Chain A
Amino acid sequence: MPINYYIFLAVALFCVGVAGVLTRRNAIIIFMCIELMLNAVNLLLVAFSKMHHHALGASVPTAGIDGQLFVFFIMVVAAAEVSVGLAVIVMMYRNTHSIDVNFLNRLKH
């Protein structure tokens, strides 16, 4: 597969995630859209790693393996981020009895 198909697929998924973050007010849905954006980037990293391997694999057998390890580390960080983020959302629900992010603008007053 030419790499540009993967680029366009990842861009489309990322933009759906951006639109979701901007249109929804439910804090957990916003969080899920962030996960969607992270996964679009992961997919693109794997595709680029295979592209790199295709170009350089003959001379360097491990070419492109770093891209896949970066995806692995992104998943690690995302797992930690999800646990802390959900704890924050549960805390917010406990205080406001809603997960509408608009309630959080009371910090302004």
Chain B
Amino acid sequence: MGITQVLFWFLSIMAILAAILVVISKNPVHSVLWLIVVFVAISGHYILLDAQFLAIVNLIVYAGAIMVLFLFVFMLMNLNAETEPQKNRWLKIAGVVTGGALLLVLVAALKKADLKAQIAEMNKGDIGLIHNLGVTLFHDYVVPFEISSVLFLSAMVGVVVIGRNEREQKDMWPHGNNYGA
């Protein structure tokens, strides 16, 4: 078993354990921190698969920006384990059983699939390098790339419209608005 295999198993176990801890942590801030661990493990998998660009983007965008956004929202709301909403135990059991049943069905369906000959090669290939990705992105995927900029603009406008607070809304529409209480 080479170093690559050892790293694969280590990162896989780390990802799954951290994912389970995201779900079972009582304190929401701990959930965010475990989710960062999951993202770091997945970035490690990307590096093992020679997708260096995606590994870095995953770290910067997910583990960096998006998780900081989640932490900020938690801090804004001043949440902790005591304010965590409690759920009926039977509903929890039903949720876990449903997820487990989905896992069982997918594993049972894929176990017999004849995929042993298909190898996801590691430590080889250069399609994950930014040069090759960039060439393809700006040759074949220019239109989706530009459309995603429109998507970001609309998301930005949407966030500003949704996140505006009540008092400012009253100032803007003195005769009442048609949404919100």
Interface residues of chain A, those whose CB is within 8 Å of chain B, are: 1-9, 11-13, 15-26, 28-29, 31-33, 35-36, 39, 42-43, 46-51, 53-55, 57, 62-66, 68-69, 71-73, 75-84, 86-91, 93-95, 98-100, 102
B102 and chain A: residue at smallest CB distance: A15
**How many angstroms between the C-alpha atoms of A19 and B19 in the bound complex?**
11
Cβ-defined partner of B118 (8 Å) among A24, A25, A55, A87 = A55
Cβ-defined partner of A32 (8 Å) among B31, B122, B148, B152 = B31
Interface of B is mostly: helix
Residues of B within 8 A of A95 (CB): 180-181
Tell me whether B85 and A102 are in contact (CB under 8 A): yes
Given contacts A12-B103, A79-B66, A53 and B57 within 8 Å (CB-CB): no
Tell me whether B162 and A35 are in contact (CB under 8 A): no
Residues of A within 8 A of B66 (CB): 35, 78-79, 82
Give chain B's interface residue range (CB within 8 Å of chain A): 35 or more
Interface of A is mostly: helix
Q: Mark B13-27, 1 if CB is under 8 A from A, else 0.
A: 001100110110000
29 A-B pairs (CB sep. < 8 Å): A1-B8, A3-B118, A3-B119, A4-B118, A13-B15, A15-B106, A16-B19, A16-B20, A18-B99, A19-B100, A20-B22, A22-B94, A22-B95, A32-B35, A42-B58, A46-B46, A50-B51, A50-B125, A54-B118, A54-B121, A72-B133, A73-B144, A75-B57, A77-B148, A80-B151, A82-B69, A90-B163, A95-B181, A100-B85
